[in-house]
Structure 1
Amino acid sequence: MPAPSSPLRSLVRPLVRAVTYTRWLHLVIGAIVPLAGGLIHPGLSAPSIGDWLTVAALPVPLVAAVALLPSARRAEGLQARLMLFPGKHARVRAGADGGAAVGAPADTGISTAPSASWTDRGRTALWLVFRMEAGLAAWLLSIWLLQVGLVLSGVSVEEPVVGSLTPHAGPAALAPLPLLALLALVVAGGRLDTRIARRLLGPSVRERMTALEERTERLLERNRIARELHDSLGHALTLAVVQAGAARAAKDPGFTDRALAAIEETGRAALEDLERVLLLLRETGRRPAGASPGLDEAARLLDAARSSGAPVAAEITGPVEDLPGPVSREAYRMLQEALTNALRHAGPVPVDVRVTADRSRLRLLVANPVPGDRPPAVPGSGSGLRGIRERAALLGGEAEAGVRDGEWRVAVVLPLR
């Protein structure tokens, strides 16, 4: 457990961080606009407090009008990310499509998207006005504190920053106090600037909803890829383990050759599925070499299950080849997982497969007896049945699994419309 820092270290630490001074620079840059306007009117020759109030108020309509430009919010967001936060994200670059900047961590809380609503424009206007007024105040206080320090040190000041607030001489021992106050102002002003920036330049409700939708889509895509890997590789490995065990138990050279051939074929199919999924993960922009298999290729699954020594009786009726693409692909994966589940937990027992398609729905039933003396089960993650239910739910269908009349049954109903 790290030792607590001393109060002195806590006070000194902000003064040795570069971001403290970039924040201060970001704050006082806002004074450029009112100072430039003040040179024109009312002038900055021995200005009074009233003159400074005029200097602060005159540019407000112009600054508010600039905030109406959608790009103003983006420019302020990029500048705030660059100067108010430490780290590598200072190297902000725009996306190729002109969208939000990339390369910055999400915890900055600063949006770089252009204004998309009047609420965004209003928040940008408040931010620009705050930055201008706070920057002018910070600049005036900084100059005044420096002048006070010089006067206390014995240096005369010919033109005070505010005529009615002329620094007066005092004990020289007090000279460091204005400098310490200036350092405290630098730290506090930068922190206030950062906090207000998060409030006024933070993501809008629409941007938060968009980000949430994108994150949800990414999670769903990852979940779908995980199911693809589980179903494809789990099926291949289960068949390989069952076939290898059966070949060793049979001690028949002919059966061993057939088992090895089936393992090779199943492995090749699994490698094709793995390559397709890896292409999606790499996001190379290339299209996969082959499309995901559909239910019209169910014969491959049935033959692979039979080659493991399990008697598989299959009955497929209806226009399976004309099923909608998503239904056909998901049904193939469900059948694959149901067969894998039977082989994994019951061994090479008789399996009954029934696939029925009509104009409105697809029915899938996989049943196998539950032996009293079960063979050793192949270890699995236990997520296969959950994946079947999730696939069915995404297509608006239903899936059930359980023991009925001494059989383990997996029943799926998928609508076709």
Structure 2
Amino acid sequence: MRRPLTLLTGQRARLRWVHLILGGALFMPYWLVGTLIVGPLTGSSMFSASVAPQFGAYAIGLPLAALTSLFPLTRPMSVAAARALCGVAPDGLADGPARGRDAKARTAGWFTLHLGIGALVSGATLALPPFAVTLMVLPFSAGLRESELASFWGADRSGPLWLYVPAGLLMLVALAAVAAGAGAFLARQAPRLLGPSRADRLAAAERRAAELAVRNRLARELHDSVGHALSAVTLQAGAARKVLDSDPEFVREALAAIEETTRRTVGELDAVLGLLRQGDDGAGGELPGPDLASLDALLKAVGRQAELTVTGELERVPDAVSREAYRIVQEGLTNAARYAGGERVTARIGLHDEELEITMENPLPGRAPVVRPDGGRGLRGVAERARLLGGTAEAGPADGVWRLAVRLPLGGLPRGGGR
């Protein structure tokens, strides 16, 4: 007994009933337009007791509702109402305006169905309860049986008066059952008519891909900047500790390099964290950071173990390529500091035929490096940076040294910018 009662009068049923009444309220302007058209043809007013003009206006209002459902705001409003009142799972409905012919047609179908069924249920909700209550009170009120209201509803006719009470109750139960059934029907149709189309799924996939690209981009910046700083500081501190008593000049240089490295890294970290605080708008913009013009400071932080050779006019390199090239050199130096055991690192950067070439070499370590639990992300980040710019990256042992070779094309990126 409790389950049928819950289905008819529970919270979900009541919310769906409100959703239907909302549809009926939205249908009223279309129905009024229909009465203005039907009225002169039938010679009746909008408040006529005849059923035919009312349903005529209803039939005219439905196509008008379907036509106006093509406005972009129709689907977002319908989806919001269905989620809040119909109990439809949020992931089963689409977000944003309808895109494409199929999505617009399904949105029009839902809007017309909601308003059409809502108008009928709303009309019954307004008319049936007063009539049912009048029937139930009729056996106990002689004045009501003789009133014009009872005569208008046909409730003053002779018959067993006690039958009016269960008849009124059955009418109220039938109304609740119809409203619950209509609400459940709309809830089942919502995912099919308001669900995401192929265009919506493609747009959602593109948004997720863009968000993932931004996250990977920020992760690479943090890894390269902070990882290099920690490696450089560790290298300089370790070297200074070994010659603390014998070479004070080197110790002073190492401490100065540590100070400069940490100061620069804090600035880069603040810039990246600033983008995170700005949200999607900020993270989608241009990432700030050092470029090839800052290589001298980078090599100074590494110390005496690095040698750089530059050929060509690096001023011609677009800013986007210059920043990525700086990070690639930085990662190469970080790997060398971690694995080369203090051996000298040689780096060559040259601009040849609209292509930036980066080559870094260091002697192979005497013993195999310790394998990190996550496999390391540095070389993977170098490959991703090169690939995003349309270039290539190769790393591995060659001719007795560890070699990192990267080629970055300049074409396709505007000078002074480019993302």
Q: For this structure pair, what is the TM-score category when the shorter chain's length is used for normalisation? A: 0.7 to 0.9
Q: Which residue of 2 aligns with 1:275?
A: 270
Change (3 A) 1:186 1:286: closer
Q: Which amino acid aligns with 1:138?
A: V
Q: Which residue of 2 aligns with 1:229?
A: 222
In the alignment, is the contact (CA less than 8 A) between 1:22 and 1:84 conserved in 2? no
Q: Report deviation, 1:386.
A: 0.6
* Equivalent residue for 2:78, pick from 80, 85, 100: 80
Distance 1:34 1:378 in 2: 69
Alignment of 1:2-151 (within 5 A): 11=7, 14-15=10-11, 19-33=15-29, 36=32, 37-38=34-35, 40=39, 45-48=48-51, 53-67=55-69, 72-74=71-73, 76-86=74-84, 107=91, 109-113=93-97, 122-142=105-125, 146=129, 149-150=132-133
Q: Which residue of 2 aligns with 1:165?
A: none
Q: Which amino acid aligns with 2:50?
A: P
Which deviates more, 376-385 or 336-345?
376-385
* Equivalent residue for 1:306, pick from 287, 300, 303: 303
Q: Which amino acid aligns with 1:183?
A: A
Alignment of 1:215-294 (within 5 A): 215-252=208-245, 253-283=248-278, 291-294=288-291
Deviation per CA, 1:138-196: give whole Å up to 9, x if none.
235545763675477354755559xxxxxx97384575454344334334433433454
Change (3 A) 1:234 1:194: same
Q: Which residue of 1 aligns with 2:172?
A: 179
Distance 2:164 2:288 in 1: 85
Q: Report deviation, 1:321.
A: 2.6
Q: Which amino acid aligns with 2:236?
A: Q
SS of 1:349's equivalent in the other structure is coil
Distance 2:287 2:111 in 1: 54
Change (3 A) 1:320 1:349: same
In the alignment, is the contact (CA less than 8 A) between 1:85 and 1:108 conserved in 2? no
RMSD: 4.0
Q: Which amino acid aligns with 1:301?
A: L
Deviation per CA, 1:173-229: give whole Å up to 9, x if none.
575454344334334433433454554455555455444434322322222111111
Which deviates more, 179-188 or 225-234?
179-188
Change (3 A) 1:379 1:197: closer
Alignment of 1:353-364 (within 5 A): 353-364=347-358
Change (3 A) 1:34 1:361: closer
SS of 2:393's equivalent in the other structure is strand
Alignment of 1:293-372 (within 5 A): 293-306=290-303, 311-372=305-366
Change (3 A) 1:256 1:190: farther
Q: Report deviation, 1:366.
A: 1.5
Q: Which amino acid aligns with 2:83?
A: F
Q: Report deviation, 1:111.
A: 4.4
Q: Which structure has the greater CA radius of gyration?
A: 2
Distance 1:129 1:215 in 2: 33
In the alignment, is the contact (CA less than 8 A) between 1:153 and 1:172 conserved in 2? yes
Which deviates more, 18-27 or 254-263?
18-27
Distance 1:365 1:380 in 2: 26
Q: Report deviation, 1:121.
A: 5.2
Change (3 A) 1:122 1:332: same
Q: Which residue of 2 aligns with 1:98?
A: none
The count of corresponding residues between Structure 1 and Structure 2 is 380
Q: Which residue of 2 aligns with 1:189?
A: 182
Change (3 A) 1:250 1:73: same
TM-score when scaled to structure 2? 0.75
Q: Which amino acid aligns with 2:109?
A: L
Q: Which amino acid aligns with 2:292?
A: L
In the alignment, is the contact (CA less than 8 A) between 1:111 and 1:201 conserved in 2? no
Change (3 A) 1:86 1:31: closer
Q: Which amino acid aligns with 2:324?
A: E
Structure 2's unaligned 5+ residue stretches are 139-144, 155-160, 412-419
In the alignment, is the contact (CA less than 8 A) between 2:75 and 2:107 conserved in 1? no
Q: Report deviation, 1:16.
A: 6.5
TM-score when scaled to structure 1? 0.75
Q: Which amino acid aligns with 2:296?
A: A
1:383 aligns with 2:385: no
SS of 2:357's equivalent in the other structure is strand
Identity of aligned residues (%): 35
Q: Which residue of 2 aligns with 1:96?
A: none
SS of 1:170's equivalent in the other structure is helix
In the alignment, is the contact (CA less than 8 A) between 1:152 and 1:169 conserved in 2? no
SS of 1:251's equivalent in the other structure is coil
Structure 1's unaligned 5+ residue stretches are 1-5, 88-104, 162-167
Q: Which amino acid aligns with 1:328?
A: S
Which deviates more, 182-191 or 282-291?
282-291
Q: Report deviation, 1:383.
A: 0.8
| Greater helix content | 2
